[in-house]
A and B are shown apart, each in its own frame.
Chain A
Amino acid sequence: MFLDLRLGALVEPLSKRRWEPERIATEMSRRIARFQRLGLARGDRVFLTFGNRLEFFAELLAIWRLGGCAVPVDARLTAFEVTTLVQAASPRLAVVDEATDPAVLVALTKAGVTHVSTSDTGDAEATVGHSQMDDDALILFTSGSTGAPKGVVHTHRSLRARWMALREQLGTAAFARTLCMLPTHFGHGLICNCLFPWLSGQDLYITPPFRPDIIMRLGALLDEHRITFMSSVPSVWRMALKMSRRPQAGSLQRVHVGSAPLSAHVWEEIRNWTGTRQVCNAYGITETGSWVAGLADADVPAEDGLIGEGWGAVIKVLRTSETDLPLDAGCECAVGETGYVWLNTPALMKGYFQRDDLTRKAVSDGWFFTGDIGVLDVQGRLSLRGRERDEINKGGMKIYPSDVDAVVERFDKASDVCTFAIEDVLYGQIVGMAVVLSDPQDDTVRALHAWMQHHLAEPKMPSLWWAVAEIARTSRGKINREAVRDACAAQAPLDMVRLLAVGAAP
Chain B
Amino acid sequence: MTGADHAGLLDALRQFLRSIQKPGVAVESLGLDDPLVASGLLDSLAIMQIVVYLEESYGVDFAAGGFDPERLATMGSIVGLIEQSRG
Contact = CB atoms under 8 A, between A and B. Distances in A.
A500 B24 contact: yes
Contacts of A211: 44
Query: What band does the interface of chain A fall in when counting residues whose beta carbon is under 8 Å from B?
Result: 20 to 34
Contacts of B70: 213
With most chain B CB atoms within 10 A of its CB, the pick from A453, A501, A506 is: A501
Interface in A457-471: 461, 463
Contact of B48 (A238, A461, A463, A506): A238
A242 B51 contact: yes
A249 interface: no
B25 interface: yes
Interface string B32-47: 0000010000001111
Nearest to A213: B69
Contact of A212 (B21, B66, B69): B69
A502 to B, nearest CB: 10
Given A216-B67, A497-B21, A239 B28 contact: no
A496 interface: yes
Interface of B is mostly: helix
Interface in A203-227: 210-213, 216-217
B26 interface: yes
A239 B29 CA distance: 28
B48 A245 contact: no
B24 A504 contact: yes
Contact of A242 (B18, B21, B44, B48): B48
A504 B29 contact: yes
Interface string A370-400: 0000000000000000000000000100000
Contact of A449 (B23, B37, B69): B23
A505 B48 contact: no
B62 interface: yes
Contacts of B48: 212, 238-239, 242-243, 426
Query: What band does the interface of chain B fall in when counting residues whose beta carbon is under 8 Å from A?
Result: 20 to 34
With most chain A CB atoms within 10 A of its CB, the pick from B45, B49, B52 is: B45
A500 B62 contact: no
B69 A217 contact: yes
A244 interface: yes
A127 interface: no
A238 B24 CA distance: 27
A505 B29 contact: yes
A359 interface: no
A216 B52 CA distance: 14
B45 A235 contact: yes
A427 interface: yes
Contacts of A463: 22
Contacts, number: 61
Contacts of A245: 66-67
B47 A497 contact: no
Nearest to A450: B24
Interface string A427-455: 10000000000000000000001000100
A334 interface: no
A242 B67 CA distance: 10
B67 to A, nearest CB: 5
A463 B42 CA distance: 12
Contacts of B62: 242-243
B44 A426 contact: no
A499 interface: yes
Given A497-B21, A501-B26, A504-B29, A212 B44 contact: yes
A496 B23 CA distance: 6
A117 to B, nearest CB: 24
Nearest to A499: B23
Nearest to B55: A242
A213 B37 CA distance: 11
Nearest to B63: A245
Given A217-B69, A243-B51, A427 B45 contact: yes
Contacts of A216: 47, 67, 69
A504 B69 contact: no
A217 B47 CA distance: 14
A334 B18 CA distance: 52
A254 B8 CA distance: 47
With most chain B CB atoms within 10 A of its CB, the pick from A242, A244, A506 is: A242
Given A212-B48, A426-B48, A504-B29, 10 more contacts: A210-B44, A211-B44, A212-B45, A242-B48, A242-B51, A242-B52, A426-B45, A461-B22, A501-B26, A504-B24
7 contacts: A212-B45, A217-B69, A243-B67, A244-B67, A453-B24, A461-B22, A500-B23
Interface of B: 18, 21-26, 28-29, 37, 44-49, 51-52, 62, 66-67, 69-70
